[in-house]
Amino acid sequence: MARAAGPSLVAVFATLVALAGCSVPLMKSGSGERTLRIVSHELAVGESLESLADDYYGDPAAAGYLREVNEIPPDESPGQGAMVEVPASETDLARYERRTEAKVHYNRGILHAGRGELSKAADEFRAALRIDPRFTDAGYNLGVTLMRSGDPVRAASTLRQAAAVRPLDPEILYALATALVDAERQEEAVEVFDQTIALNPQNEDAIFSRAIALLDLGRVDEAVFALDAYVRTFPAGQWADRARSMLSNMTLSPEGGD
């Protein structure tokens, strides 16, 4: 799970300068209020247009709007030190301040998690969420931390809340499905795996895990079909040998069905 595997610390401090006298466009995303100012934001380590759009507007997809405002080509990704003009209303600025405060705890949580201090990490991620309940990275990492601590039920509850904020985020959905499997709620897990795969048809882990969940449920025919499809799609995948072995044990060939 990429967000939990040694993520970079999210920068807390950035250069913010209100530019007077600028022609300010109407917001296309975020609060919907008329923009009051343009903020000049210097990208720090770990920041991107997507994270900036999430911090100010609560919507990573608004990165496209920031590209338009700053005339950044689609194939360019501004890095550390780049200055980005962010049209912001008072609501957007308040959202950014709240997220910045929450990131102090989030960063501490990342440090604790990296040291294996899971209880302390969970406490910090919870503190971040108390400040900013829509901080989905904190919710994701809290969920993963709870899974690693052997508490899949609470992990699933936490990840479901994150998924409610980001229903089209395949990483969050995959983590939720995995937590549901660990909590022995395979029926729900299969449904969430289906959502994950619909969003990312090449999610190898989700495709294989869904097949295992179907097998756990006793839906053998569906599991065989899913394993066969997995082998066909990922003949050299990380789970391919295991899938072939499982199919062989069920007296079926991975090429069966022709």
Rounded CA separation 19/14 (Å) = 15
Lowest model confidence (mean pLDDT) among 31-40, 48-57, 117-126: 31-40
Give the tens place of pLDDT for each residue, 77-106: 999 999 999 999 999 999 999 999 999 999
Rounded to 10°, the helix 204-216/186-199 angle is: 160
Give the tens place of pLDDT for each residue, 7-32: 334 433 332 333 333 333 344 444 55
Element at 228 (helix H, strand E): helix 220-233
Q: Strands of 37-42's sheet, edge to edge?
A: 16-19, 37-42, 83-88
Q: Tell me, what's the pLDDT at 24?
A: 37
pTM of the model: 0.81
Give the tens place of pLDDT for each residue, 107-132: 999 999 999 999 999 999 999 999 99
All residues at 6 or more sequence positions from 249 whose CB lies less than 8 Å from its CB, including other chains: none
Q: Tell me, what's the pLDDT at 45?
A: 87
Domain 98-249 has CATH 1.25.40.10: yes
**By the 8 A CB rule, do 198 and 169 touch?**
no
Measure CA of the first residue to CA of the last residue in the chain; give whole Å. Answer: 35
Q: The tokens of 150 are what?
A: 């052997």
pLDDT top residue among 11 and 172: 172
The ranges assigned to domains in the chain are 2-96, 98-249
Lowest model confidence (mean pLDDT) among 28-32, 133-137, 147-151, 171-175: 28-32
Q: Tell me, what's the pLDDT at 12?
A: 34
Buried b (16+ CB within 10 A) or exposed e, 74-105: eeeebeeeeebbbbbbebbbebbebbbebbeb
Is a pLDDT exceeding 50 seen at residue 6? no
